[in-house]
Amino acid sequence: MDEVHHRTSACGNERMRVPMKNLRIWTLLLTAILLSSCTTQEIVIEKEIIKTGKEGSGSELLTTFEPVESSILDNGRMWTFEYAPREYFEETYNFEATDAWFERARLSSVRLPNCSGSFISPDGLVMTNHHCAREMVSAVSQEGEDLLVDGFYAETMEDERPIPDYYLDQLVEIRDVTDEILDVVDAAPAEEQAAVREQKISEVQQALTAEFEADGDKSVQVVSLFNGGRYSAYIFRRFTDVRMVMAPELQIGYYGGDADNFTYPRYNLDMSFYRVYVDGQPYQPEHFFPFSSEGVEEGDAVFMIGNPGSTTRLNTVAQLTYYGQYALPYRLSFFRNLIRALDAYTAADPENPMAMDLRNTVFSLKNTEKLYGGQVHAHRDPYLMGRKVDNEMKFVSKLKASPDLRDTYMPVLERIEAIQMEKAKLGPFGALTIGLQPNSFASPSMLQRGYLATQMLAGIFPAEFEEQIMGQLLGIMDDDPILERELLKSHMQFLTDVLPENGGYFEDVNWFGTDDMAVGMFQEMSALSSQESAAEFFAQDKSEWGSDPAVQYFQGFGDRLFEDSARLSELSDEEDELETRLGRAWFAVYGTTIPPDATFSLRIQDGVVAGYEYNGTLAPAYTTFYGMFDRANSHHSDPQWELPQRWLDLEDGTGGLDLGTPVNFVSTNDIIGGISGSPVVNIDLEIVGLAFDSNKEGMGSSTLILDDRSARSVNVDVRGMIESLRHVYKADRIVAEIEAAGQDMAGQDE
């Protein structure tokens, strides 16, 4: 189990911006969103995805798309608080959005390490998603307990359990530091600007941290907006005493499992509750969101306040096309093969403690698999990409209308396109080393050792770092032998998926195959299959290292393995710098009439409660507990839709549970990963829901465009939360606290 915990990122060499939905297992892995034409069953196999991506481009390296009429709101509705859209809100929703309204919305919200949340009572009660709290539920489980399966409720405050090494951040102040940073950057030579920018941001952050040092509970983050067109310093109050109050069973918090994930209609109580303590006492926030006693109706305006992870809506069409044809398919293949490996391992011995510990990891990876599957299809959809083409044409037209903007920024767009063409020519080599970092959970330790040793033999690292690299090499830990074999099969299958069949690669590589016998032979022949034997092997002179099959395997790829990876890294660094100038171009043209791309920083998203057309019929705005029980009965004993016994006991209606109570609803709010756990509030800033997912119609597209024809945020309804807390979980203490908070707020407003 410790070995799994020591595993690091699955990231490869190539930079890819992706949203995050609840992933500690991959350094805030990502999250977000699937297109209507794409389901788990409909996504074609990896080889076909990669093949059709290249065939679809004809003779060109990058596919071209015809323009489709776009809107300024295609860039999204993830508004920042420093550039609050007061006039837009007032004109669209017919209410006065005052400074006080935005301040209360901001201060009632909190950021979790991987998600969003909010204060919901004057005694520090915090609401977030169950899927955001899974690891914390496991962390507070005591010997003999499996709270992830059974759920948890603290009947008294004394029973609320501290969550180890956890925190929540509240955004208490925002300062504009744009000029302070850009004045210094612009004065530097072009080749030094990236380093100067990084240094200046660090200086600003350190100066503000020193300013607030006496407070003892503040942290500072400088946030880049518009890809570096603007900069804000966010000052957070950090709360480090956070305790678990309530979490339902996994079967209810993740009802429908992977099959229902990113779909709607839905019947999911994806909720959990914490409490913040300060000096051993419940924290009493000045601002919080009370629960609405009435909920919402279809057509009502709703606002979501949270921390969306990452979008690429301000990227160029060339960049987005490259992602869809090259980077995303490779990553989709990698995650599919990794999931197969972990599924095979956990299925072999489900009661194995390590297999049980991998549950949260597998949930998150399957989330990511759906994300990439949806994104691949969205980035190839002629309608969606056509809107991006039209959006970019309008942007370029405005740039060209100003000689200064044209001369400053058109070369930026041209160079970004040229970079995509060069990256496309490099082919799959940049993808072959995904997950091979030392002690990554996503690859076999034997290949991690072989890859690092091959790099050392190739002279990739400066001589002064060789001792440090050797320490990393010897520090790579062993996996469970069965897991190691499954991961090795996973890697070999990934290789066959991404390398062209006619490229001659398998003749050059020390290739064994993908079946059990082949990978078993590979393991038996390599001294790098265990940490102990590897230490003995690496004690030899370096001239002997090339005799091991795991080293020969990587050497078989030749110089391109390192040369292409190095070139890809150089191009990505250049692209990063160009994107900061691209962001300044967007801001120069549109100012704050469009929001910046998501940066896992606090935003407010507007929308309305609305059903939509799907599957030849209409998806209702709401689902009810009737539907939850129907789902369970329709699927008979399928474990994904089995209900816990305490729920089954209430199916006949004799236990007080009103089966007509809304449990989930959908709205047009702009949602991606990271925003999970966000409060959904009405115009009066009362909670009407809890955001937890996107439907599949929005899952793939939302990182590149806001397309709310049928894309929806899926939310837990406040009425379903209260009804289940009261009648299913007998959480009378929490219900009373929530209802009293609403009455207190109503009294203050009168």
DSSP state string for 419-465? HHHHHHHHGGGGGTTTT-STTBTTS-HHHHHHHHHHHHHTT-S-GGG
Burial of 689 (0-12, 13-18, 19+ CB in 10 A): buried
Rounded CA-CA distance 663/267 in Å is 6
Helix (H) or strand (E) holding 726: helix 718-727
DSSP secondary structure code for residue 20 in this structure: -
Q: Provide the angle, in degrees to the nearest 10, between the axes of the packed helices 46-55 and 481-498.
A: 20
CB 384 within 8 A of CB 34: no
Q: Tell me which residue of 592, 722, 605, 726 sits closest to 674, measured CA to CA.
A: 605
Rounded CA-CA distance 423/420 in Å is 5
pLDDT at res. 371? 84
Please name the residues in contact with 418: beta carbons below 8 A apart, sequence gap of 6 or more: none
Q: What is the residue whose two structure tokens read 């926030």?
A: 285
Rounded CA-CA distance 144/205 in Å is 45
Rounded CA-CA distance 224/206 in Å is 16
CB 43 within 8 A of CB 373: yes
Q: Tell me which residue of 678, 297, 681 sits closest to 694, measured CA to CA.
A: 678
pLDDT at res. 742? 84
pLDDT at res. 512? 62
Please name the residues in contact with 654: beta carbons below 8 A apart, sequence gap of 6 or more: none
Expressed in percent and rounded to 5, the helix, strand and coil fractions of the chain are: 50, 15, 35
CB 156 within 8 A of CB 733: yes
Q: Tell me which residue of 463, 448, 591, 504 sits closest to 9, measured CA to CA.
A: 448
Alpha helices in 94-192 (DSSP H): 99-107, 130-140, 147-150, 178-187
Helix (H) or strand (E) holding 192: none
CB atoms within 10 A of CB 73: 15
CA 253 to chain centre: 18
Q: Are strands 603-608 and 679-681 parallel, antiparallel or unpaired?
A: unpaired
pLDDT at res. 361? 84
Rounded CA-CA distance 262/318 in Å is 28
Q: What is the residue whose two structure tokens read 């399928």?
A: 638
Rounded CA-CA distance 273/244 in Å is 7
Helix (H) or strand (E) holding 17: none
pLDDT at res. 12? 37
Rounded CA-CA distance 646/9 in Å is 39
CB 657 within 8 A of CB 723: yes
pLDDT at res. 637? 80
Rounded CA-CA distance 476/740 in Å is 54
Helix (H, G, I), strand (E, B) or coil at 277: strand
CB 216 within 8 A of CB 197: no
CB 220 within 8 A of CB 236: yes
Cα angle vertex 563, ends 557, 569, to 5°?
Answer: 125
Rounded CA-CA distance 693/666 in Å is 10
Rounded CA-CA distance 35/55 in Å is 21
Below-70 pLDDT ranges, the chain? 1-60, 500-513, 745-750
